Amino acid sequence: MLSCRLYLPNDFERLYAIEKACFAPPFRFDRRYMRQLVRSANTATWIAELDGEMAGFAIVEWSLDDGQISAYIQTIEVAPQARRRGVGGKLLGQTEQSARLAWASVLWLHVEEKNPEAIRIYEAHGYRTEGREENYYPQGRAALIYAKRLAAVGFATNC
């Protein structure tokens, strides 16, 4: 069974083990930066569990830009043994819901241009290319910038 929940402080070692399995230096976030992200008041960290085991995580961050809230996906990572089982899509949906609840009008991200698996997931969920950033990743690798416009969460008013 696949489920998502919010990060708890005792999740850090397992979360960072997934980071190490997914990225080698110089592409890996260092421990200090990762701790900063998961502790920030402007982020939500979602943990995906598959059959009771941590299978991946996502970190979404909010900011105020030109009077509007926008959300940015810092990372979505899936443990190698849990790939192709819906974990990435589940985490992406959870970050979208978090962004909507925070009243974000757009959710955006960077993805390495040579990561077709991730690009397929983003495009299947309605993300569209907004641009390209040269030398975004180490070793001069370019990033594609994807974004999705979000509908505001509505509340019924029966006053």
67 Rama sector, left if φ>0, alpha if ψ -120 to 50, beta otherwise: left
What is the full per-residue pLDDT of the chain (159 aa) written as tens digits? 999 999 999 999 999 999 999 998 888 999 999 999 999 999 999 999 999 999 999 999 999 888 889 999 999 999 999 999 999 999 999 999 999 998 999 999 999 999 998 999 999 999 999 999 999 999 999 999 999 999 866 544 443
Taken in order 115, 116, 117, 120, the sign of the CA dihedral is: positive
Find out whether the peptide bond into 26 is cis, omega within 30 degrees of 0. Answer: yes
Give the chain's radius of gyration (CA, Å): 16
Query: For the purposes of burial, counting CB atoms within 10 Å of the CB of 95, is it exposed (0-12), middle (13-18) or buried (19 or more)?
Result: buried
For residue 61, give both structure tokens: 């961050």
Residue 100, classed as helix, strand or coil, is helix
Please name the residues in contact with 99: beta carbons below 8 A apart, sequence gap of 6 or more: 60, 62, 71, 107, 150
CATH of the domain spanning 2-149? 3.40.630.30
Token look-up 């907004």 returns 130
The candidate with the shortest Cα–Cα distance to 46, out of 105, 90, 107, is: 90
- How far is it, in rounded angstroms, from Cα 79 to Cα 74? 17
For residue 68, give both structure tokens: 């509007």
Which pLDDT score is estimated for 152? Answer: 63
For residue 33, give both structure tokens: 């930066």
Which pLDDT score is estimated for 153? Answer: 62
The answer to whether 98 touches 71, Cβ cutoff 8 Å, is: yes
